[in-house]
Amino acid sequence: MHALIVVAHHDPQSLTHSLAAQVAEGLSLADPGNSFEIADLSAQAFDPRFTAADLAVHHREAPPPADVAAEQARIDRADALVLVYPVYWWSMPALLKGWIDRVFANGWAFDFSSDAKLVKKLRHLRVHLVGVGGADGGTYERHGYADAMKTQIDHGIFNYCGASVVTSELLLESETQDPTDHMDTARALGRELFTASK
Domain count within the chain = 1
Assign residue 167 the CATH number of its domain: 3.40.50.360
Rounded mean pLDDT, 25-41: 97
CB 128 within 8 A of CB 80: yes
Alpha-carbon span 150 to 90, nearest angstrom: 11
CB 82 within 8 A of CB 48: no
Alpha-carbon span 85 to 96, nearest angstrom: 8
pLDDT tens-digit series, residues 151-192: 999 999 999 999 999 999 999 999 999 999 999 999 999 999
Mean pLDDT of the chain: 96
- Gyration radius (Cα) of the chain, Å: 17
Provide the residue range defining the domain that includes 87. Answer: 2-196
* pLDDT exceeds 80 at position 197: no
Alpha-carbon span 40 to 36, nearest angstrom: 13
CB 174 within 8 A of CB 134: yes
pTM of the model: 0.95
Rounded mean pLDDT, 43-72: 98
